[in-house]
Amino acid sequence: MASAPAVHLHLGHEQRTSGSGGTHPHLHPVKQVVQADIPLAGAKEVEEAVARAAGVQEDWRRTPPETRRDILNRLADLLEANKRTLAEMAALDGGTTLMVGERGVDTAVGWTRYYAGWCDKMSGELISTFDTRGELSYTVPEPIGIVGIIITWNGPLISLGMKVAAALAAGNCVICKPAEITPFAPEMFAQLCKQAGVPDGVLSILPGTAEAGEAIVRHKKIRKISFTGGPITARKILAACAEEIKPSVMELGGKSASLVFPDCDLQAAAERAVFWTVGCLSGQGCALPTRQLVHADVYDDFVARLKAIIGQFKVGDPMDPSVAVGPVINKAAVDRILGMFERAKVDGAAKFELGGGRCGGELADGNFIEPTLIVDADPDHEISQVEIFGPAVVVMKFHTEDEAVAIANNSEYGLAAYIQSNDLQRVHRLSERLSAGGVYNNGGFQINPHTPFGGIGISGFGKEGGKAGIDEFLHYKTVTIGVGAPIFPKQEA
């Protein structure tokens, strides 16, 4: 079983054991004892990393596309070869179960390979206006330059695969700040990038606090920001980007609804609902279907199925392969989640069919929340409107499609929506009406690298995945050549 590795500040290939941001004591997610002191970057290290990136940006931009492709494919190979260890790093980071951790590695591998394939396929277009203007135009995709990537603590390896691989494929240099509370998987990712052949200075990975994040956002040589996190931090980043007139991509979470109709496979839908809300990252995921909207005709049946499935989920040490639900990220999360539960109970906003408290017994000292089934929820209450980010599923009843759509769209978020139905006409009809960046039918959340992923509303803007994802790290230059008669004829004397 893996132990916590030494964490470094990676300024290109240089590894430092200390930084100007001080240190962060990382607590074991189960035992709640300090397992490592994490060095933190500050503005000083960001400045040095940018200087190194600026020195190699032109060389990296002009590196043959097939060379960048081969580097990223080697990185994917290394990630795959180290799947078990990376999954264990995720468990040590924040309590991700081994099964979910291994799925996260698979996701990072898939995205890295996908963007490796884009390296030699980026192209512009030819636009002929010869007939009307005597001109010929074409566009050229170019890297933005140095980009800043700031990722949150839930699933850091997935975010690294989604963002860093795309930025490098497009020919950019990257300054990346992972969260200081989940440093181990990013540490290993940095080591594997070096092994794969990412040149010195092209990628710096700097765990740090808000000081480092602000330095990245405000640095004038960093031309774009890609951020995954919450709306509160996003507003601060956007304000700073506005001052610098700097573009950004924001992935900010969601309170996604899954509409369950009588014609679906109810057992399969219930199993998906529980895994994707309780078992996946202990509910700490941005696009999980945490609001289950169930048709009245099958409501009681579906709730009974949810209850039976949740009751089978084992809670415990994420290093135990038999465990389905690990701890939440820290004590602050425990207190926040339990506070939401208590307010819902006091307000009479929902019925707690299962759970609703902190785990006791041998798990009492850890950050463990009981798998929680919340039914008959008030659609307007906090419990139905705000991300719980814990192992809980909220269930509401609807009678008609119109009512289901109204409840689903009654949210500031708009990252994902789900439809559990075998009626394809209904699926197409509702997909058009649901306010979300992505709609998934008869399935759970799929982070597919071939398709764009991103939200609307306070779920953010911009895309990751597909051509749209690579385009976020490019700008298109237009070149126009005069090849015909001049537009303005020469005047006779």
**CA 181, CA 304: separation in Å to the nearest integer?**
37
- Using a 10 angstrom Cβ sphere, with 0-12 exposed, 13-18 middle and 19 or more buried, the burial of residue 416 is buried
Residue with tokens 């790093």, as numbered in its chain: 89
Q: Looking at the annotation, which residues are catalytic?
A: 251
Please, which residues have CB within 8 angstroms of residue 425's CB and are 6 or more apart in sequence? none
Read off the tokens for 228.
């995954």
Q: Does residue 208 contact residue 19 with C-beta atoms inside 8 Å? A: yes
DSSP type of residue 422:
S
**CA 138, CA 142: separation in Å to the nearest integer?**
13
What amino acid occupies position 41? Answer: A
Pairing state between β 173-177 and 146-150: parallel
Q: Does residue 46 contact residue 216 with C-beta atoms inside 8 Å? A: yes
Tell me, rounded to whole angstroms, the distance of Cα 408 from its chain centroid.
Answer: 22
Q: Does residue 296 contact residue 398 with C-beta atoms inside 8 Å? A: yes
Q: What is the largest CA-CA distance in the chain?
A: 100
- Using a 10 angstrom Cβ sphere, with 0-12 exposed, 13-18 middle and 19 or more buried, the burial of residue 77 is middle
H-helix segments, 261-368: 266-274, 299-311, 331-346
Read off the tokens for 33.
């004892």
Q: Does residue 290 contact residue 256 with C-beta atoms inside 8 Å? A: yes
DSSP type of residue 41:
B
Read off the tokens for 144.
């933005």
Element (DSSP H or E) covering residue 236: helix 231-244
Q: Does residue 281 contact residue 100 with C-beta atoms inside 8 Å? A: yes
Beta-strand runs (E) in 349-445: 351-354, 372-375, 392-398, 416-420, 438-441
